[in-house]
Amino acid sequence: MRVVVGGGTGFVGTALTQLLRSRGHEVTHVSRRAGKDRISWEQLSQSGLPQCDAVVNLAGENVLNPFRRWGDAFCREIIRSRVETTKTLAKAIADAEQPPHAWVVVTGVGYYRPSPTAEYTEDSPGGDFDFFSRLVSSWEAAALIPGSPTRGVVVRSGVVLGQGGGAISQMIWPFRLGLGGPVGSGLQPFPWIHIRDLAGIVCHALETEGLRGVFNGVSPSSPATSNGTFARELAAALGRPALLPMPAWAVRAIFGAERAVMLLEGQKVVPKHTLESGYSFIFPDLPEALKDIVS
């Protein structure tokens, strides 16, 4: 299969590209910079979609970049880098003479309202209560192609855990030094997924004819994982203590109040449709997932 991946040069994209190539598929990235096996967004807009069987979008400015101050300009970039890239790919699919068979967009579990108790499946309501939920709604709306023969899949991802990027790369050093700990109260749910499973779900969605709709990209044990459990397990995997909580005020000071919600609150998300679709998780449990990542 020939697969075009927007944002395929990033953390998740690198894992997905490796997996797809190992399964014999050809991958072309869409990037801000053209290069080998890579076209630019401008080339895509001008020349249309290259001949392909499937399209994925993973593009997006890193929301938790601590070096970017939370403000209007950063928020606009967060929205633009997701919604406009998704619209550009959706238009390219709609205009293609030979449309691809599958179109997958990875969004986020920020769609669901943070709660210490509620459990959410793909059928649960959400998408209209804060910046992140409205972001996911417009992102998923941008992916819709009315009347298209291309089947559409949305994977709502939790915090992606893997080596060399994402959340773990930001927190591993304090933990390695024995200075890590829970964020805020530590009681908030921590919806997580191992990067190989997120890549696996996207690949499963591309390869399984007839699969369409929304799939939660979280591990099956994620509803039972709190931020405190995660801190304890990460410290245990590293053989270090996890004694020093990061106070809520410090998180708000570093990230800004609106963005700090992502760390200080969380959702219990169940991958109901994902499991029903036949996907079998490689890392359903946190200790094994973390051992694999820190080893």
Residue number with CB closer to ligand NDP (10 or 127): 10
Angle of the 166-176 helix axis to the 286-294 helix axis, nearest 10: 80
**What does the block give as tokens for 162?**
């893997």
Taken as a whole, the chain contains a residue count of 295
Percentages helix, strand, coil for the chain (3-state, rounded to 5) are 45, 20, 40
Q: How far is CA 272 from CA 96, 135, 198, in A?
A: 33, 23, 15
Smallest distance, Å, CB 259 to ligand NDP?
Answer: 13
Of the two residues 81 and 185, which places its CB atom closer to ligand NDP in the complex? 81
Considering the rule CB under 6 A, would residue 159 count as an interface residue with ligand NDP?
yes
Residue 292 phi, psi dihedral angles, 5° rounding: -60, -40
Contact range with ligand NDP by CB under 6 A, out of 4-12, 146-154, 181-189, 242-250: 4-12
The interface with ligand NDP within residues 83-142 (CB under 6 A) comprises 85, 106, 108
Q: Under the criterion CB under 6 A, does residue 77 sit at the interface with ligand NDP?
A: yes
Q: Which of 17, 28, 157, 222 binds ligand NDP (CB under 6 A)?
A: 157
Which amino acid type is present at position 199? Answer: A
Is the CB of 31 or the CB of 226 nearer to ligand NDP?
A: 31
For ligand NDP, the nearest residue by Cβ is: 10
Q: For ligand NDP, what does the binding mask look like between residues 55 and 74, x meaning CB under 6 A?
A: ---xxxxx------------
Least Cβ distance, residue 140 to ligand NDP (angstroms): 12
For β-strands 192-194 and 159-161, DSSP reports them as parallel
List CB contacts of 168: < 8 A, sequence separation 6 or more.
161, 162, 234, 293, 294
Report the alpha-carbon distance of residue 265 to residue 38 in Å, rounded.
Answer: 37
In the complex, which residues of this chain contact ligand NDP (CB under 6 A)? 7, 9-13, 31-32, 58-62, 77, 81-82, 85, 106, 108, 157, 159-160, 166-167
